[in-house]
Amino acid sequence: MGEPLRIGMVGAGKISGEYLDTLARLDSVRLTAVTDLDPARAKEAARRAGEDVAVLPSAAELVEREDVDAVLNLTVPAVHAGVAMTALAAGKHVYGEKPLGVSREEARDVLTAARAGGLRVGCAPDTVLGTGVQTARRAVDEGLLGTPVAATAFMATGGPERWHPDPEFYYRHGGGPLLDMGPYYLTSLVHLLGPVAEVSGIASRPRGRRTVGSGPRAGTGFDVEVDTHISGVLRHANGVLTTLIMSFDIHAARLPRIEVHGVDGSLSVPDPNLFEGPVEFCPAGGDWRLLPPSAGYPGAGRGTGLADLADALAAGRPHRASGEVAEHVLDVMLTLLDAVRERVSLPVAGTCERPEAVTAGP
């Protein structure tokens, strides 16, 4: 293989640790620089990387480095698009945490800038590239279910303030259960069933204030600015109907994560927030049975999508955790929130290509 893609990481918060673990064992990428608003966190990330990683005072300085080919954007959602635009203006590819932006305009501007510069934009979640969702996708693609007719997607928790020491951003503009966790579920549904064409829904905000539940600020109250329980119905372009629940208001549940139902059987898909997990199939009139892992990157972790982007660049093929998929997922979520406010069913203006399946690991 050729030289690894050199990565500059912007943001060294909680999620960065998982990326660092993955990048350390991937041959196609190499971390060369890091920056964070907290210099101590940037220094710790560089130390943890275990190699000669430069610590920079700002994203603006990081993107100008000659040893940075692509920027890994791990900032908070409100500045995802701004950091991406800074990187693209400097001629760097971008791979970021979800969502791609907090508005359709932000997402569109990022992709427009990338196309103008001949650059790639990738976006989490890349959990869909693991053996869980990809094994389920293979079952759908090979016709194990027959023609798909319906799906369900349920994310039911009591909220991130129970474990996150600084949870306020989850409850501000750009946050909420749909924009926070919805990308995992909706991206999985796009891989399994294709793009979404129409949405309708309803939502609520049962509590106006929440309380930090862990860390040094435990007991601190804060205001809730977004809806925290969303119920929706999605019509995919192929006619499949998905029932969706995204909630920070359910303290305990036994709901399945994702199920896909066809004329010949049903499929249980594992937690889309994870790369692996049991995939089960029940034929019509039969019993549930476990499907062995048969597709996807084995042993994947957060950052696998960045490695897939690097491999795609070298091979001249589209990358799978793409900005186009992320833009469509964002459009679906924002259209669903529009439908909630207007109490109508709305068409989703944009679409995307269903990404290529991961048929085998690297």
Locate all alpha helices (DSSP H) within the chain, ordered by sequence.
16-23, 39-49, 59-62, 80-89, 104-117, 131-141, 176-193, 304-315, 323-342
> What is the C-alpha separation between 338 and 118, in angstroms, rounded?
33
* Residue 359 belongs to a domain: no
Instruction: Say if 298 falls within a structural domain.
Output: no
Q: Are both 109 and 195 inside the same structural domain?
A: no
Domain containing 85 equals 5-123
- How far is residue 12's CA from residue 41's CA, in Å, rounded to a whole number? 6
Residues with Cβ within 8 Å of 236's Cβ and at least 6 positions away in sequence, in order, are 189, 193, 194, 195, 196, 197, 242
| Predicted confidence band of residue 266 (pLDDT cuts 50, 70, 90) | very high
- Which residue type does 88 have? L
What size, in residues, is the chain?
Answer: 362
Residue 352 lies in a domain: no
pLDDT, residue 287, reads: 98
Please tell me the distance from the alpha carbon of residue 214 to that of residue 211, in angstroms, as a whole number: 9
- pLDDT of the residue at 361: 46
Residue 355 within any structural domain of the chain: no
CATH number at 15 reads 3.40.50.720
**Boundary residue ending a domain (123, 145, 170):** 123
Same-domain pairing of 112 and 165: no
Q: Are residues 156 and 78 in the same domain?
A: no
pLDDT tens digits, 77-97? 889 999 999 999 999 999 999
The per-residue pLDDT for range 176-201, each reduced to its tens digit, is 999 989 999 999 999 999 999 999 99
| Claim to verify: residue 259 and residue 234 sit in the same structural domain | yes
pLDDT at 1: 54
Give the mean model confidence (pLDDT) for residues 60-89. Answer: 96
Tell me the mean pLDDT in the region 304-309.
98
The pLDDT-based confidence of 360 (bands split at 50, 70, 90) is low
Question: What is the domain count for the chain?
Answer: 2
Average pLDDT (121-144) is 98
Rounded to whole angstroms, the Cα distance separating 267 from 262 reads 8
Same domain, 242 and 341: yes
Q: What is the pLDDT of residue 76?
A: 87
Residues in CB range of 50: below 8 A, 6 or more apart: 24
